[in-house]
Amino acid sequence: MKSIFEGSIDRFATTTGKRIFFNPAVMNRKTAGDIPSECERKYPVACSYAYTQADTLQMILPSGWELEASPPHQEISVPFGYYRYHYSLQDQHFKFIRVLRIDQNHIPPEQYADYLEFMNSVVMTDNSKFVLKQE
């Protein structure tokens, strides 16, 4: 299924002087609250179901602005899931793609350390900012 949304988002970006800070992961961003707090696990991590979240955001950068800083591209593949965070910029056309796939609805305790590492990477990347600078 493919859905297309057009519109505007309040507080999508913040400005400071000649810089704009924004995070394009607006639909399905993970936060620290999505990471279990246990250090060790006795029982499986239970998800209601296996799932895939796939988001694409496209925008045209304002004239006279250039991308000054950006988070690194990410691609992580683990036995229980996959994460991809990728963007491109060509002729002021910015395209962002984020995919998070959880393949198992029960992640066994022996994979818990890997799950924590995976989710920490997802949260850190999902909450990264891009910086535009006025030329």
Q: How many CA atoms lie within 13 A of 59 on its CB side?
A: 20
Domain span at 61: 27-134
Q: Are 107 and 115 in contact (CB under 8 A)?
A: yes
Q: Are 29 and 126 in contact (CB under 8 A)?
A: yes
In a domain, 68, yes or no: yes
**Predicted confidence band at 2 (pLDDT cuts at 50, 70, 90)?**
low
In a domain, 15, yes or no: no
CATH number at residue 103: 2.60.120.1130
- Predicted confidence at residue 121, as pLDDT, reads 94
Whole-prediction pTM value? 0.84
In a domain, 8, yes or no: no
**Angstrom distance (rounded) from CA 124 to CA 119:** 8
In a domain, 4, yes or no: no
- Predicted confidence at residue 117, as pLDDT, reads 92
Quick check: 27 pLDDT over 70?
A: yes
**Number of separate domains in the chain:** 1
In a domain, 12, yes or no: no
In a domain, 22, yes or no: no
